[in-house]
Amino acid sequence: MRSATVNGSHVDEVLSEVAGAASARHGLPPALLDGYPRALMTVARTGRMLSAEEQAACRRLGGEAVAMGVGLPALVDVHMNASRRLWSRLPELLRASRGRPVRSAELMGIGEAVWRAADAALAALTAGYVEAQRLVVRREEEFRLEFVDDLLAGLAPVGLLIERAEFFGLQLNGAHVVVVAEGQRPIDSGSGVRGVAEDALRARFGDRGLLAAAKNGRLVCVLSCPRDADGCADLGRQVAGIVGPLVSRTARGGPWRAGAGRPHTGPRGVQRSYQEAVEALETASRLSLRQQVVQAADLLVYRVLARDETALSDLVHTVLEPLTGARGGAAPLVETLEAYFSAGRNAAETARRLHLSVRAVTYRLQRVRELTGYDAGEPDHHLPLLVAVTGARLLGWPQRPLVRE
């Protein structure tokens, strides 16, 4: 009985020594090998397969490695190193446990059993590691999306937003610019464009505070401003020029457009810049603007016009409603007016843009004058017609009816 106890104590010492030496290679705790050397020792002694319980323990160790921030290569190397160290000590350990030396004929069978068990253990380790890593990524993505929703909606307390923002490297006390990019296809959190966008922006702007996320089918990028005001003024356009093509690439080369909000300070400033970027996108769409990058600062006049929808509707009705009596309706005449003003009131350029003859353009402008009393060529009539046409685009008229008191 005493001899068996001594032998068992010697085996425990060797197994502990193997675990300590293998884990020390990467400065990791021996607990990441918990039970593994002993399981291999049992397999060598009995020739059996690695049990389901032992494989489950390896899966658990893989998950614990993720929680400790240990890389998979290091984890695999520790276990392989322990296997090699144990293999060199197996004749000694088996002699101590059996009470006799290991025969040469037995070594091949023992080796097959041990390395088969090691393969099974590594497979279980890797599976547990990958599963835990996926869970961590999923939780981080959920945390990111929840934070982005709270930040852009402005619903959470300011103090809590500032605290949570530090996890993403954002200092919300400073000024930030928000850029919203959209493509031909909706962007979701699983598209991978978020990570690519963050990498591209970091390569351009360094370690400045940055956050990117998919929201409502669009890519939203929040970037902290440099301290100098001049560098902040053009930041939105620069960000849009980087992330826009990435969004297009996600949609396999389709068209893209990005709206850039103005720089604002604090958590509520981020929300405001985001709203401006979204409004810029929507305004550009309603006005059929050709720019790929639309900045809120350049569209302030349209925000002013759209702020009083009732007054704008009254203006459109007063100036342009008579065009509905034209053959073909008001839409072709409104389109001609818009192109005419965009072309600098040049009839030839307007005809080129609309794929019409100059005579056709001239006829349409004449019909506008006859029906409304406004002459697009007269300087005094230019402003009311231009504002009315812009208002019609903002309100979706004549496709949508006007809302009037």
pLDDT per position as a tens digit, 2-46: 344 445 677 888 889 999 999 898 889 999 898 899 999 999 888
Is residue 78 a contact partner of residue 33, using CB atoms and an 8 Å limit? Answer: yes
pLDDT per position as a tens digit, 261-288: 999 999 999 999 999 999 999 888 888 8
What is 173-303's CATH superfamily? Reverse transcriptase/Diguanylate cyclase domain (3.30.70.270)
Is residue 80 a contact partner of residue 111, using CB atoms and an 8 Å limit? Answer: no
Per-residue confidence (pLDDT) for residue 65, from 0 to 100: 92
CA distance 372 to 322: 6
pTM, two decimals, is 0.65
pLDDT per position as a tens digit, 224-263: 988 765 667 789 999 999 999 999 887 677 889 999 999 9
Q: Answer whether residue 199 shows pLDDT above 70.
A: yes
Per-residue confidence (pLDDT) for residue 6, from 0 to 100: 42
Is residue 93 a contact partner of residue 11, using CB atoms and an 8 Å limit? Answer: yes
What is the CATH code for 308-395? 1.10.10.2840
pLDDT per position as a tens digit, 332-352: 999 999 999 988 899 999 999
Per-residue confidence (pLDDT) for residue 251, from 0 to 100: 65
CA distance 309 to 397: 12
Q: Of the given ranges (140-149, 202-211, 304-313), which has the lowest mean pLDDT? A: 304-313
Q: Answer whether residue 110 shows pLDDT above 50.
A: yes
Q: Of the given ranges (183-197, 315-329, 371-385), which has the lowest mean pLDDT? A: 183-197
Supply the mean pLDDT for the chain: 87
* Token reading at 44: 């060598």
Per-residue confidence (pLDDT) for residue 1, from 0 to 100: 35
pLDDT per position as a tens digit, 40-94: 999 988 889 999 999 999 999 999 999 899 999 999 999 999 999 999 888 888 8
What does 257-293 look like in DSSP terms, one character per residue? EEEEPPPEESHHHHHHHHHHHHHHHHHHHHTT---SE
The CB-side HSE value for 272 (13 A sphere, CA atoms) comes to: 11
Query: Is there a cis peptide before residue 332, judged by omega within 30 degrees of 0?
Result: no
Q: Which helix (H) or strand (E) holds 225?
A: none
* All CATH 1.10.10.2840 domain ranges in the chain, comma separated: 308-395
CA distance 67 to 126: 14
* All CATH 3.30.70.270 domain ranges in the chain, comma separated: 173-303
Q: Name the percent of the chain lying above pLDDT 90.
A: 45
| Backbone angles phi and psi of 209, in degrees to 5 | -55, 130
Are β-strands 293-295 and 256-260 bridged in parallel, bridged antiparallel, or unpaired?
parallel
CA distance 333 to 324: 9
Task: Give strand pairing partners of 293.
Answer: 258
Per-residue confidence (pLDDT) for residue 231, from 0 to 100: 65
